[in-house]
């Protein structure tokens, strides 16, 4: 079970902005759901950034271009399994 | 212009609805003259007409795979919507209906303009109405139907987290969507937490990733405690070869080609063998009902893989779905919906009259009321199946015999044709209701 500390760390990873979001909600989404979504999104974005740099690093050492590398891994790059 | 009409114009202008409709994912719609509805539409900006659904069903009647197909459809639509700058206002399973085994989204007003940074409003509802019921079956082997029928809004993360086995925490998706969500929901009731939650933003890429991750996960979910071998057992158990099955199929084929029902109800459908016989001989759509979750699951998978216009649904004939929800009028009971062109009750009545102690006359009346034409099967007491039902109990059923069966049927319908279909003396009756 992830504790409150871990949650805070994830939120820092997200670096969430503090701007008022539109609130014409038809449904009460639930505070738990919103916090969870920000955590999941934070992780997804962080993974995306890590992947991006991983491919750049691989491209640098293998001498291939970033584009061909990215094309090869089109699926796995975007389809982060969270 | 009212906000809903503004959103409606934006969503239609994006081409999303046309695209989804052309792929069979949302129901057709046409803007019609508001005058058609008279004063009911006095303030309406638009009046829409949809094609009539052949049969309305609810998630508590669906099999595991049908609920899963509905979940995947919802995610597909939300993903396609986001690409066009559209999002959905909710994620209720009741916005999905089935035409045969194919799910279709029916709520035109669930779409609105997406605003950069906004959260997925339907996430919690999606968990409660789709994911959690699927997990209950997948991890605990408990079908979702009875709980869902009692708690119309689905299963909360808090309740499910108390039931799931410990090993389920090893799944990142279960850990986050069930356990973590339940914990966060419990800890977040303070004004401060609500204020903070309201000011956060969800980047679009994060929203897309959440949807993508859920889609991939749900695709892999399977019913627990009754893996694939059981489906194979159903396939081999239901042999087409024996004489009785051949005779029954021939009888149903003749009935179906004469009546040509647009909708036939198959009460006690098992895996759908006789629904298929009807569909192959002039019936357009068969909706089957059975008590056995394994049979429903097999029937649904078969309908999908063989492209059959067959929808198997869960029904306990002794306790069918009631009228419920707001004013007890929101979700219709089985009786209100069971009006078709034809009905079949094969290998069914003895289960109700003997195993469930229901009066024979009442069972026949219940079935005949569903349609103007139908086929019912009488199974005599000396049949092995009835003997099995009577094995451990006293035979209290002195009025359960063929003469009484015919008398009861004759009082409500005309018997068009009857035929003995088995060596034990099982009889099929084709009737036209008075």
pLDDT tens figures, A70-81: 444 444 444 444
Is A18 inside a domain boundary? Answer: no
pLDDT-derived band at A66, boundaries 50, 70, 90: low
Given A18, A44, A81, which is nearest B199 (Cβ)?
A: A18
Residue B43, Cβ density class (10 Å: 0-12 exposed, 13-18 middle, ≥19 buried): exposed
For residues A62 and B359, which has the higher predicted lDDT (pLDDT)?
Answer: B359
**Cβ <8 Å between B121 and A30:** no
pTM above 0.90, yes or no: no
Is A3 inside a domain boundary? Answer: no
| Contact between residue B206 and residue A44 where contact means Cβ atoms under 8 Å apart | yes
Is A16 inside a domain boundary? Answer: no
Instruction: Enumerate the residues of chain B whose CB falls inside 8 A of the CB of residue A2.
Output: 175, 180, 183
| Contact between residue B256 and residue B433 where contact means Cβ atoms under 8 Å apart | no
CA distance B411 to B31: 48
**Cβ <8 Å between B119 and A42:** no
Q: Is the pLDDT of residue B131 over 60?
A: yes
Is A28 inside a domain boundary? Answer: no
Closest CA to B345 of B372, B368, B377, B373: B377
Is A17 inside a domain boundary? Answer: no
Is A38 inside a domain boundary? Answer: no
Looking at this predicted complex, what is its ipTM?
Answer: 0.79
> Would you give the distance in Å from CA B390 to the centre of its chain?
32
Is A29 inside a domain boundary? Answer: no
Q: What is the pLDDT of residues B277-332, one digit of tens each?
A: 999 999 999 999 999 999 999 999 999 999 999 999 999 999 999 999 999 999 99
Given B89, B173, B209, which is nearest A27 (Cβ)?
A: B89
Q: Please give the tally of structural domains in chain A.
A: 1
Residue of B nearest to A30 (CA): B124
Instruction: Enumerate the residues of chain A whose CB falls inside 8 A of the CB of residue B90.
Output: 26-27
Give Cα separations from A38 to A4, A35, B92, B120, B201 (angstroms).
14, 5, 22, 10, 8
Q: What is the pLDDT of residues B345-380, one digit of tens each?
A: 999 999 999 999 999 999 999 999 999 999 999 999
| Contact between residue B209 and residue A40 where contact means Cβ atoms under 8 Å apart | yes
Is A27 inside a domain boundary? Answer: no
Closest CA to A80 of B76, B21, B32, B209: B209
Report B:130-189 residues touching A (Cβ under 8 A): 157, 169, 172-173, 175-177, 179-189
Identify the structural domains of chain B with CATH numbers, from first to last.
56-220 (1.10.510), 229-433 (3.40.50.150)
Phi-psi region of B249 (alpha: psi -120 to 50; beta: other; left: phi over 0): alpha
Tell me what pLDDT residue A25 has: 61
CA distance A56 to B223: 42
Q: What percent of chain B has pLDDT over 70?
A: 94
| Mean pLDDT estimate for chain B | 93
Return the H-helix or E-strand segment holding B49.
strand B47-49
CA distance B411 to B296: 33
Among the residue ranges A8-12, B206-210, B217-221, B276-280, the one predicted with the least confidence is A8-12
Return the H-helix or E-strand segment holding B415.
strand B413-420
Given B117, B122, B176, which is nearest A40 (Cβ)?
A: B176
Q: Is the pLDDT of residue A6 over 50?
A: no
pLDDT-derived band at B226, boundaries 50, 70, 90: low
Q: What percent of chain B has pLDDT over 90?
A: 84
pLDDT-derived band at B51, boundaries 50, 70, 90: very high
Domain span including residue A60: 45-82
Query: Could you tell me which residues are beta bridge partners of residue B68?
Result: none
Tell me what pLDDT residue B89 has: 94
CA distance B414 to B239: 32
């Amino acid at each position: 079970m992830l504790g409150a500390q871990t949650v805070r760390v994830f939120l820092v990873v997200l670096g969430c902005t503090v701007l008022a979001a539109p609130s014409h909600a038809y449904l009460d989404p639930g505070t738990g759901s919103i916090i969870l979504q920000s955590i999941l999104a934070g992780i997804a974005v962080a993974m995306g950034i890590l992947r991006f740099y991983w491919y750049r690093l691989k491209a640098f050492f293998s001498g291939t271009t970033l584009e061909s590398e990215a094309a090869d891994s089109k699926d796995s790059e975007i389809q982060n399994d969270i | 212009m009212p906000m809903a009409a503004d959103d409606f114009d934006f969503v239609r202008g994006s081409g999303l609805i046309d695209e989804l409709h052309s792929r069979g994912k949302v129901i057709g719609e046409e803007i019609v003259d508001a005058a058609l509805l008279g004063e009911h539409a006095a303030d309406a900006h638009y009046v829409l007409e949809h094609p009539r659904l052949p049969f309305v069903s609810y998630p508590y009647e669906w099999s595991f795979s049908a609920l899963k197909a509905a979940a995947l459809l919802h995610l597909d639509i939300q993903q396609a919507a986001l690409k066009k700058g559209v999002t959905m206002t909710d994620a209720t399973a009741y916005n999905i209906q089935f035409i045969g085994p194919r799910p279709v989204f029916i709520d035109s007003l669930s779409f609105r303009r997406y605003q950069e940074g906004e959260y997925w409003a339907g996430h919690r509802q999606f968990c409660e109405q789709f994911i959690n019921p699927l997990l209950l079956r997948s991890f605990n082997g408990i079908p979702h139907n009875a709980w869902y029928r009692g708690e119309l809004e689905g299963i909360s993360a808090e309740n499910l987290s108390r039931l799931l086995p410990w090993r389920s925490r090893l799944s990142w998706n279960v850990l986050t969507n069930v356990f973590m969500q339940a914990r966060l929901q419990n800890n977040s009731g303070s004004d401060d937490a609500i204020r903070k939650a309201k000011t956060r933003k969800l980047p679009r890429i994060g929203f897309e990733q959440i949807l993508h991750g859920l889609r991939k996960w749900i695709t892999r979910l399977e019913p627990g405690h009754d893996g694939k071998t059981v489906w194979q057992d159903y396939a081999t158990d239901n042999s087409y070869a024996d004489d009785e099955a051949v005779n029954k199929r021939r009888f149903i084929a003749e009935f179906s080609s004469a009546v040509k029902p647009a909708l036939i109800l198959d009460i006690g459908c098992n895996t759908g063998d006789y629904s298929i016989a009807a569909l192959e001989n002039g019936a357009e759509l068969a909706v089957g009902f059975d008590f056995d979750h394994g049979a429903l699951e097999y029937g649904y998978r078969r309908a999908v893989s063989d492209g059959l216009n067959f929808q198997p649904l869960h029904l306990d004939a002794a306790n069918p779905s009631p009228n419920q929800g707001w004013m007890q009028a929101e979700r219709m009971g089985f009786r209100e919906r069971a009006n078709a062109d034809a009905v079949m009750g094969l290998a069914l009545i003895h289960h109700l009259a003997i195993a469930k102690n229901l009066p024979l006359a009442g069972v026949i009346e219940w079935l005949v009321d569903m349609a103007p034409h139908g086929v019912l099967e009488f199974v005599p007491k000396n049949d092995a199946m009835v003997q099995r039902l009577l094995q451990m109990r006293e035979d209290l059923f002195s009025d359960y015999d063929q003469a009484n069966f015919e008398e009861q049927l004759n009082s409500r319908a005309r018997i068009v044709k009857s035929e003995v279909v088995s060596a034990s003396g099982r009889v099929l009756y084709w009737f036209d209701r008075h």
